[in-house]
A and B are shown apart, each in its own frame.
Chain A
Amino acid sequence: MMLIAGTVPIQGLPLTMGKVTDEGDAIVIGDRRIPCTQGTAAMISAALVTTACLGLDPPHGLVVGDIGEGKGSRELYQYLIDHVERLAPKVLALHYWLPDMGQTRELCRAVDRCRQRPVMIADAASMYSAKAAGLAGAFDVFTPDATEVAFLADAEATHPAHVARHLFETDAAHVPELARAAYRNGDAARLLLVKGAVDHIIRDGDVLATVKEPDVPALEAIGGTGDTITGLVAALTHCGLEPHEAAIIAGRANRVAGQHTRATPATRVWQVIREFPAVFREHLCSWSGVCSVKGENHD
């Protein structure tokens, strides 16, 4: 099972888990329809499109309503702490929530008790709390943007709003340097996919690859296009690719989908997501060697 967990901006939505289905510009989990906008929904939607293209079981979504008050976030993490061992996901991707270091510690302890450790992926505030709690090393993949890699490089920062100015103002050419600082401090996952004008795929401080074509600058302005990359990484890892392979393909696919959409800064993320099937039909076989897994179940 691939499990993607995070908050959604629907006040009062109770903790909800189930296989995800697609409904155009929304996803459905259980009987709940969740609009595919920036955040966890965009991440789940990108993973869903990928599994559908590959003929795999859809992701399981674990979501809860939280508009920032934190109550839903705490319920979500507590549910994972209590049940991750039983759920035994092969891939566990964590996303938006109100960062809490204590619950992150408890979750990592619970994951350690799993008979087979899931591939652990974190983006957004799940990455913030993992770093702040000193637990980045318990994760296989982080997917920061350029601001967030500066946050990872700042040993004292517990949120990207408090990054040292000299690190924040470092330009994209210095991403590898910031990543190395993060690894030195123990504040990076095994693999970093740093999203930006140039995507950097970095493992243990070494740049394994960069992705810069096609160049679609408007993607930076479109809310959710970082979330889609993380969803792609989760799904491609679930399909059996190594995390670094998944990261390279995710970076390429996001860009090509943006190009197909003729993305402008006013484009919505669901418009990018709906291009993924065409992108995969055209390129996935040559990019990955994964040419047909239709009908297989990798759970």
Chain B
Amino acid sequence: MAFMQRKQKPQPEGTGLVLFQEVQQAMHAEKVLRAAGHVVRLVAPPPELRKGCDLAVEINLTEQPAIERLLREKDAAWISVAPQRVGTAPLLDVVKVTDFGQWTMVRAGNMKITYDKATGIIVNVSGGGCPDIPYLYAQLVDRPLAEAPRPTEIGFTLCALNLERALAECLALHAKGGTP
């Protein structure tokens, strides 16, 4: 059975901050993000994260790629996005390659893409846990690497960002013949 849509009761509790040079930029970005359905709020950044003005937009850090894409599309200015917890490590940039003979698997962070060395066709996508990953699986699998949509263009989350890195590495490897 299907249910009627319930009234949403979003409970903002962000894990990231968008930092701005000027207060007006922060207020404009907050409006843009709210209008698009993101659960955000204006907050004062802690001194150790402050880069420009003393106003920031608190976001769900998982949505960083979608939020940055939207701000770009709306010509909204911002300095950077930072994890709210000060000790948080920077985004992982570790890429590992596994040779399966006929296939190559590339892992970037928590995401993996496997492609056929001869044809360059993506045969599997694995890892991750955000809701755009099953969608990206459907969009990428069975496509040649060069024709696959870019995860950061159609995805929304940090998992998609790692998948983008894996795809970029696959493209570079395949151009070189498929092995590292």
A-side interface residues toward B, CB under 8 Å?
A: 7-9, 14-18, 30, 32, 37-41, 66-75, 78-79, 82, 96-103, 105-106, 123-128, 132-133, 145, 147-148, 151, 154-165, 168-169, 217-218, 220-226, 264-268
Contact = CB atoms under 8 A, between A and B. Distances in A.
Given A38-B126, A98-B60, A220-B126, A162 B92 contact: yes
Contacts of A162: 61, 83, 88-92, 158
A40 to B, nearest CB: 7
A289 B3 CA distance: 40
Contacts of A75: 5-6, 8
Given A32-B2, A161-B109, 10 more contacts: A38-B126, A39-B137, A70-B131, A82-B6, A102-B12, A128-B62, A165-B94, A221-B114, A264-B103, A265-B100
A69 B37 contact: yes
Contacts of B12: 102
Nearest to A267: B124
A69 B126 contact: no
Contacts of A221: 98, 100, 103, 105, 112, 114, 123-124, 126
A132 B126 CA distance: 22
Contact of B13 (A8, A72, A102, A223): A102
Contacts of A158: 15, 61-62, 83, 85, 88
A39 B132 CA distance: 10
Given A74-B8, A132-B15, A226 B60 contact: no
A169 B94 contact: yes
A201 B78 CA distance: 45
B161 interface: yes
With most chain A CB atoms within 10 A of its CB, the pick from B60, B85, B102 is: B60
Contacts of A226: 126-127
A105 B61 CA distance: 17
Given A15-B3, A30-B1, A222 B126 contact: yes
Nearest to A96: B131
Nearest to A217: B100
Interface residues of B, number: 64
Summarize B's interface: helix, strand, loop or mixed.
Answer: loop
Contact of A147 (B61, B87, B110, B123): B110
Nearest to A225: B126
Contacts of B161: 161
29 contacts: A7-B134, A9-B135, A14-B3, A17-B3, A30-B2, A38-B126, A38-B137, A67-B135, A68-B131, A78-B9, A96-B134, A98-B156, A99-B62, A102-B12, A106-B11, A124-B128, A125-B129, A151-B110, A158-B61, A159-B158, A160-B109, A161-B109, A220-B105, A220-B112, A220-B126, A221-B100, A221-B124, A223-B127, A266-B114
A223 B3 contact: no
Interface of B: 1-3, 5-6, 8-13, 15, 37-39, 60-63, 66, 83, 85-92, 94, 98, 100, 102-103, 105, 109-110, 112, 114, 116, 123-135, 137-138, 141, 155-162
A127 B159 CA distance: 14
B34 to A, nearest CB: 13
A265 B114 contact: yes
Contacts of B85: 156, 158
Which 4 pairs, one residue from A and one from B, show the smallest C-beta to C-beta distance? A68-B132, A102-B11, A124-B129, A68-B156
